[in-house]
Chains A and B, each alone.
Chain A
Amino acid sequence: MQLSVVVPLYNEEESVGPLVEAVRAALPASLEWELLLVDDGSRDGTVASIGAFTAADPRVRLVPLARNYGQTQAMQAGFDAAEGDVVVSMDGDLQNDPQDIPRLLATLEQGYDLVAGYRQRRQDDLVTRKIPSWIANRAIRAVTGVDIRDNGCSLKAYRRWTLDRMDLYSDMHRFLPALAAATAGARITEIPVRHHSRRYGHSKYGLSRVLKILADLLTITMIMWFRERPLTLFGTAAIIAFAIGAGFLTASAVAIWQIHAGMATAFVLPASGLLCILLGCYLLMLGLVAQVFLHHTRQDRASPPPIAVERFA
């Protein structure tokens, strides 16, 4: 199998038909492909709509989830079921255009492990979608150092070996390029893709997701930089706490001996200093516990080494 197209669907009964037709029309006949439609516990007629196609066309397959798990798990289910050497993910709401898939594949051939699409002339509401998305992408780019301008676009192409090194959980689908860089050492690039306005149904996203993304940034920072060296993160925080504490204690020593011994206000300074220093000790211990955890999970499960590709093959 050369190509698997993975589409998570949640309550998209009207979209299924046009989607399957669009994918069929977009992919060249010479290509060996499959279309995996992941039903994320829809409560409308999505499964029935998919059933109409799977019977007639063996290339179209249904991956039924037991309940509604959210987009990340739906994508992971599709990736796990996919048999292609290349896997393309896209949204089920017809906003992505399957006609871009051949271009994604061609870019992948130029020596990349992940090609992300970015939406040109995005057809969405400015205030509720575009501006929050712009802020989120800026923040993600700054924190991860992965140069992708549109993390929210689902249309992406992956080599099998990239996905083999990624395990998705929580709301990771927004950070897939960063995760691919951190865990697989993937070579990543992006190309412009078309974007259409929604034809059926309604968006399942709201403005609140921006706050969630900002909280997730902390998680992704951990994954990107400190997954294998938690003691560096906790230790650095501890050193900062020690420094502040030492500052307070110095100030209190000066206050006690130089100004007024026993002055009531002098109590505030040593108290603050002690708190800071003991916080530093606590952080250091947390880092050591994290190190214990890292060591034992690493012994349990031999994770595959990052992707290394021949340059002059």
Chain B
Amino acid sequence: MPEVSVIVPVVERPDPLTTVYQEAAAPLAEAGISAEFVFVSYPWFRPLTDALAALRAAGAPIRVLEVGHALGETAVLKAAAAEAAGQILATVPAYPQADPSGLPALIAQVRAGSDLAVGRRWPRRDSLINRFQNRVLHLLVGALGGGRLHDVACGLRAMRRDLLGQLPLYGDFVRFLPLLAMRDGYRVEEVAVPVHPRSMRGRLYSPGVYLRRLFDVLGLIFLFKFTDKPLRFFGLIGSALSSIGGALLLLVLIQRLAGQPLADRPLLLLGVLLMTLGAQAIALGLIGEIIVHLSAAGRRGYRLRGSQPSARPRAPAA
């Protein structure tokens, strides 16, 4: 039984997978860590995973898992974690990002009692474009982790086996795994790892990608601040909008009484619209509260140290 399962999600722009394997396997072997490699991929990447068959035949501890539909990195990682044998899970990106020579240090951190160890590419020697994007991301979400994390989206991680199943992971939230783990009180450590020598060049993505990331970040911030109290967010916004709307209407009314005609004034319309939007916001907040209230039944919002998230300790008597 290997101690560590190294999961490589092969979902987008992968490198030659034999290279990925060799670069990650060498430092592990050097550190004397017993590991299996779990590549998880889609059927349309078979030409890439084919290359692993020869290594596997030569005795390399490689498994290739396939998911039949493009479900994204979060779902694919969960599927692989369910099949992995090791007590510690590590993830290695299938493209050059953080250098896998940092893996043994991450694994040592988990052995020493951390729930999650995440790489931090440091010192950054890659292009200014990459660093700038990283900086913007952390300006937006860094505070959610108390400012302790500097590279939340780093694909090089090691974690306790059961961590993934205990976090609310959906959509593309695996990118923010360290933040979500910290939110639920797991011990997260950051370990400096070198930048991969082939990732020095700057990477830019299509506008659609940035748009999706923007919504991810927005959803994450909202999750941290308001998922348990939606009415506080929507109520605040709603009453602010309604008040502004009301004030505008009052202004228009006063001006009308002073003799100014109403018919061609956008300000009147703006006032009415702001008031309706405010009412809608409050209504949405109330719906949010109903959702939170109903889903709180039988569940506990706390987790005892070292245990799973809680259900209701005693079931009600029949």
Contact = CB atoms under 8 A, between A and B. Distances in A.
Whether A and B are associated in the same complex: the answer reads yes
B30 interface: no
Contacts of A231: 215, 218-219
B108 interface: no
B29 interface: no
B2 interface: no
Interface in A280-313: 281-282, 285-289, 291-300, 302, 304-312
A292 B78 contact: no
A53 to B, nearest CB: 37
B193 to A, nearest CB: 27
Given A182-B69, A229-B215, A308-B80, A267 B287 contact: no
A221 to B, nearest CB: 15
A239 B214 CA distance: 12
Given A285-B280, A285-B284, A289-B287, A229 B82 contact: no
A207 to B, nearest CB: 32
Given A297-B295, A308-B66, A308-B82, A264 B263 contact: yes
Interface in B38-78: 40-41, 43, 46, 49, 52-53, 56, 63-69, 71-72, 74-76, 78
Given A185-B79, A235-B215, A306-B78, A295 B269 contact: no
Interface stretch (B13-21, B118-126, B134-142, B270-278): B270-278
B234 interface: yes
Contacts of B171: 228-229, 232, 294
Contact of B68 (A185, A289, A304): A185
Size class of the contact patch on chain B: 35 or more
B291 A186 contact: no
A278 B227 contact: no
B64 A228 contact: no
Contacts of A236: 211, 215
Given A281-B277, A296-B227, A308-B82, A274 B270 contact: yes
B223 interface: yes
B66 A286 contact: no
Contacts of B79: 185, 305-308
A295 B221 CA distance: 13
Contacts of B273: 274-275, 278
Nearest to A144: B69
B65 A308 contact: yes
A299 B301 CA distance: 10
A185 B71 CA distance: 7
A241 to B, nearest CB: 13
Contacts, number: 164
A181 B227 contact: no
A236 B218 CA distance: 13
A297 B170 CA distance: 11
Contact of B82 (A232, A252, A305): A305
Interface string A260-279: 00101011001100110010
Interface in B204-219: 211-212, 214-216, 218-219
A289 B281 CA distance: 10
A113 interface: yes
Contacts of A270: 266, 269
A165 B230 CA distance: 30
A285 B234 contact: yes
B248 to A, nearest CB: 11
A311 B211 contact: no
A236 to B, nearest CB: 7
Contact of B295 (A181, A252, A296): A296
A188 interface: yes
B292 A296 contact: yes
A291 B170 CA distance: 10
B293 to A, nearest CB: 10
Nearest to B42: A185
A187 B66 contact: yes
Contact of A292 (B43, B80, B227): B227
Nearest to B309: A299
B241 to A, nearest CB: 8
A299 B263 contact: no
Contacts of A286: 284
A310 B56 CA distance: 13
Contacts of B234: 285, 289
B300 to A, nearest CB: 11
Given A288-B218, A296-B292, A311-B41, 4 more contacts: A235-B218, A288-B226, A300-B295, A306-B75
5 contacts: A228-B72, A310-B83, A311-B66, A312-B52, A312-B63
Interface of A: 113, 146, 181-182, 184-188, 228-229, 231-232, 235-236, 239, 252, 262, 264, 266-267, 270-271, 274-275, 278, 281-282, 285-289, 291-300, 302, 304-312
Closest CB pairs A-B (n = 4): A187-B68, A296-B295, A308-B79, A181-B69
